[in-house]
Amino acid sequence: MNRIRLLPEQVANQIAAGEVIERPASVVKELVENALDAQAAHLTVEILAGGRGLVRVTDDGLGMSRDDALLCLERHATSKVRNAEDLFRITTMGFRGEALPSIASVSRFTLTTRERESDAPDATQVVINGGKIIEVKAAGAASGTSVEVRQLFFNLPARRKFLRSEETETAHIQHYLTLAALAHPHVAFTFTTDSRTVFQLPTAPPATDPAGQLAALRERLRALQGTDLKLLIVDTRSTYSELPDAADIEQSPIGNRQSAIRLWGFIGAPGVSRGSRDDQHLFVNRRPIENRALNFALMEGYHTALMKGRYPVACLFLELDPAQVDVNIHPAKREVKFHREREVRQLVTEAIRGVLTEYHAPVAPVVPPALATPGRKG
């Protein structure tokens, strides 16, 4: 008798959901990432009961055709990765093709979408309960996509039991949306919980120049924090030698290619600190990440400018070649690994230290010419 059997598709999806969907905030994260990848300019997130009762994410992005709406609910179906090489140069927020089928397998799920460039008068609506397609029909809707997730983990009571209080789950959702809003100031965000608007952030004009990017980020920080903290500007560019592959060494054994890297954003001035890392927001190519090396580099940059037990306030963006950073480590895409971690860490440390040194440097007084001491004649 054979002991090894293939798992049913529904069970496989629920196992995948256990890796990708940990709590309502995970659902919000995956749906918002899809909306951002779809070039949305306006995003609305609505939740009820901390996300247990309802998570609804609505965007005005590219939308999908009927065929794509059905195909996106299959495991490993994605528009963002074509071959294995693409995994080593990720430029989109999502890429696994697991999120939507995972969410649909553990909730009462409704997808309504209409393609932006299509002439079709109707949208497509797909209704799924616990991974089983119940209905596919035409519906009236604006271009873009709306996803409703109700009764998360209704078919997995053991998982539902481990969810925290409504206040805690709401706080996790708000924390992620804060990060997404900071990373994309050119996108308007609206967040509503239990019919109460938590924040409504207008869109900032798209900017490619450093001054425009910093201005948009500063305005978004002011809108989210509600206070005008004393912040210092960080904007540093540098290069470092890429880590070559074995094939590259065989083809060109002499010389290393140089990779450009930029660190920009804001850090708190000395005296602006917190008792935890909650106000440290770090992004790599606009993706909010967790990386111990960057946390240590930030602390090293401040060195003695902080009291013991205090942590700096920071909102920093690291931009580098996507091929030089691996985001395909954790199913939730929270962690990244740099190919040249030591060089990246050193750049961050030196950039922070340089900004603080310049802040502390005494300003030479400007003496009017009329008051200058005349030179001695010989």
Instruction: DSSP for 167-182, please give it.
Output: HHHHHHHHHHHHHHHH
Segments of the chain assigned E as strands: 42-48, 54-59, 108-114, 123-129, 132-139, 144-150, 188-193, 196-201, 231-241, 258-268, 273-274, 280-284, 287-288, 311-312, 314-320, 325-326, 337-338
Distances (CA, A) of 216 to 223, 286, 318, 328: 11, 14, 17, 29
Identify the pLDDT of residue 40: 96
The tokens for 325 are 């950073």
pLDDT in tens, 57-71: 999 999 999 999 999
Average pLDDT, the chain: 86
- Does residue 366 or residue 22 have the better pLDDT? 22
- Does residue 229 or residue 134 have the better pLDDT? 134
User: Which residue, chain included where needed, has tokens 């999120």?
Assistant: 99
Identify the pLDDT of residue 325: 87
Which helix H or strand E contains 166, and what residues bound it?
helix 166-183
Query: Is residue 103 within 8 Å of 27, Cβ to Cβ?
Result: yes
The angle that helices 292-302 and 341-360 make with each other, rounded to 10 degrees, is 30
Beta strand 231-241 pairing with 258-268: antiparallel
CA distance 128 to 133: 4
Identify the pLDDT of residue 242: 74
CA distance 250 to 246: 6
User: Which residue, chain included where needed, has tokens 């009762």?
Assistant: 53
Identify the pLDDT of residue 247: 45
User: Which residue, chain included where needed, has tokens 């030479």?
Assistant: 364
Can you tell me whether residue 160 is helix, strand or coil? helix
Sign of CA dihedral 7, 8, 14, 20: positive
Supply φ then ψ for residue 6, to 5 degrees. Answer: -75, 135
pLDDT in tens, 142-196: 999 999 999 999 998 888 988 999 999 999 999 999 999 999 999 999 999 999 9
**Residues 10-27, mean pLDDT to the nearest whole number:** 77
Identify the pLDDT of residue 378: 45
Identify the pLDDT of residue 362: 66
Identify the pLDDT of residue 246: 45
Which of 255, 279, 276 lies closest to 267 in space, CA to CA? 279
Identify the pLDDT of residue 367: 60
